[in-house]
Amino acid sequence: MSGNEHSSGKTVALNRKARFEYTIEEEFEAGIVLTGTEVKSLRAGKAAISDAYAAPKDGELWLINAHIEEYGHGNRFNHEARRPRKLLLHKKQIGKLVGRLKSKGVTLVPLSLYFNRRGLAKVKLGLAMGKKLYEKRDTIKKRDWQRDKARIMRNKNG
């Protein structure tokens, strides 16, 4: 998946670290409850989700530790940069995810934060299991080989 694959929406933040650190089993799209200054900050591309995760609380899912920079022209009603943000999913999806999160080693990580075609802020979540060190080494080896292969083919054809 590349930067703008969300049906002609605008990608605001990608979590590149997630696919290296975790094996993604399943992906979900969730809405996110934001304040006005957060939306303006996102439209300006001022967000980071590399240290974020989703956790259940009171039968709802919350995005924890996502950093949305304070809006520059915001006044006293400006938002807190790292506040927990409620995720919007169907009750059945939340139940399924909370059940899966109870298993050992399973976590819910945000993969990307973007605006869909209708202009709504969305988060792509991945149900993830942590990779072991040898799996990470294998990922690095495969990535390096793909890069070398592309370089060889480019030099051969050029």
Contact between 53 and 64 (Cβ < 8 Å): yes
pLDDT score of 5 more than 60: no
**What domains lie within the chain, and their CATH numbers?**
11-132 (2.40.280.10)
What are 49-73's pLDDT values in tens digits?
Answer: 888 888 888 888 888 888 888 877 7
pLDDT score of 137 more than 60: yes
* Burial status of residue 152 (CB atoms within 10 A of its CB: 0-12, 13-18, 19 or more): exposed
What residue type is 42 in one-letter code? L
> Which residue is associated with the tokens 């072991």?
132
Predicted pLDDT of residue 2: 43
What are 94-127's pLDDT values in tens digits?
Answer: 888 888 888 777 888 898 889 888 888 889 988 8
